[in-house]
A and B are shown apart, each in its own frame.
Chain A
Amino acid sequence: MRHNFCPLGSLIFSVFKTLTDQQVTVELKNDLSITGVLKSVDQFLNIRLDSIKVLDEARHPHMMAVKNCFIRGSVVRYVQLPSEHVDTQLLEDATRRGAPT
């Protein structure tokens, strides 16, 4: 199998690990957007966020008493990353290196 170039998607997993303690916005497949400080991530890209804030809290007051949360990786649509902490050249090199020739 040639597509095991990135076992368990470990490249993306590593990227998230480097963003620990940075602020990210996670958009879920139920259209909820949650901003918070990335505390940890695992191989499934499950995410733990601290000091969270839900976008449009007036419409979504359901989580107003929630201070930190665990988000299941499979329900994530996007994660907005802090671009100043992402080295795009490094990412491209790592992706090329991991890819089959």
Chain B
Amino acid sequence: MSSLQGYVDRRVLLILQDGRVIVGVMAGFDQKSNVVLSDSKERIYSIDEGVEEIPLGLYLVKGDMIVLIGELDDAVEQAVDLATIHAEPIPPIRY
């Protein structure tokens, strides 16, 4: 298994099948790559406005829904003002 072990207790960014982006601290995972995030927030991207963050708290994401899990570089995160980022939302998964 290309394991998720290295991501436990790290700040991660998840991209989901429907295009949602969620950041949080990976509290745990299992064989099916179901993931538990603590202190999580959804990041909503739009062209017209800066990124909006919606707090979600402790969140369980089903493995099937996950496209990608990325480890966040805190230095880069802190250097970026999300309010200034304007971008299209990530498209949902289609063939």
**Number of B interface residues in the complex (CB < 8 A):** 33
> By DSSP majority rule, is chain B's interface helix, strand, loop, or mixed?
loop
Residues of A within 8 A of B93 (CB): 28-30, 75
Q: Would you call A1 an interface residue if the criterion is a C-beta within 8 Å of the partner chain's C-beta atoms?
A: no
Q: Would you call B67 an interface residue if the criterion is a C-beta within 8 Å of the partner chain's C-beta atoms?
A: yes
* A69-B71 CB under 8 A given contacts A46-B2, A63-B13: yes
Most buried by A among B21, B67, B70: B70
Task: Provide the bound-state CA to CA distance between A52 and B73, in Å.
Answer: 12
Q: Would you call B48 an interface residue if the criterion is a C-beta within 8 Å of the partner chain's C-beta atoms?
A: no
State the B residues within 8 Å of A (CB): 1-2, 4, 7, 13, 15, 17, 19, 21, 33, 43, 45, 63, 66-73, 76-77, 80, 85, 87-88, 90-95
**A61, B85: Cβ atoms closer than 8 Å:** yes
Residues of B within 8 A of A40 (CB): 2
Task: Provide the bound-state CA to CA distance between A28 and B70, in Å.
Answer: 14
* A72-B68 CB under 8 A given contacts A42-B1, A65-B13: yes
**Number of A interface residues in the complex (CB < 8 A):** 30
User: Across the two chains, which residue of chain B brings its CB closest to A67?
Assistant: B73
Residues of A within 8 A of B94 (CB): 29-30
* A48-B2 CB under 8 A given contacts A30-B90, A59-B87, A70-B7: yes
